[in-house]
Amino acid sequence: SAVISQKPSRDICQRGTSLTIQCQVDSQVTMMFWYRQQPGQSLTLIATANQGSEATYESGFVIDKFPISRPNLTFSTLTVSNMSPEDSSIYLCSVEGSTKSETQYFGPGTRLLVL
């Protein structure tokens, strides 16, 4: 199984500012995913990030608001730009498992509160 860490684990930010969330994996993976979990809600996929290509965004999410970097096979960042209180959520990164298991592993999440 993959071990995933995220930084920061939580943050409180002012509206209009931006926050970059880091996701580090202990093994090389091709596909990484970013999800958002709004308070009391389920997880919604923001985008899929493959190393060496532009991230693919789901409907309702745009690159200007959530730019993603994927510089190598073990690391990715998600930036939440020009934040508003509606961006208060838990942001989770996940990675695909091995081809054989095809299981997705999740990081511990970043709890963001925007005031």
Q: Point out which residues bind other proteins (CB under 8 A).
A: 31, 33, 41-45, 48, 92, 94, 96, 102-109
Beta bridge partners of 95: 32, 105
| Distance, CA of 23 to chain centre | 7
Contact between 93 and 4 under an 8 Å Cβ cutoff? The reply is yes
* Residue 85, burial from CB neighbour count under 10 angstroms (0-12, 13-18, 19+): exposed
Rank residues 89 and 94 by Cβ distance to other proteins and give the closer one: 94
Distance between CA atoms of residues 63 and 80, nearest Å:
10
Rank residues 16 and 62 by Cβ distance to other proteins and give the closer one: 62
Rank residues 57 and 83 by Cβ distance to other proteins and give the closer one: 57
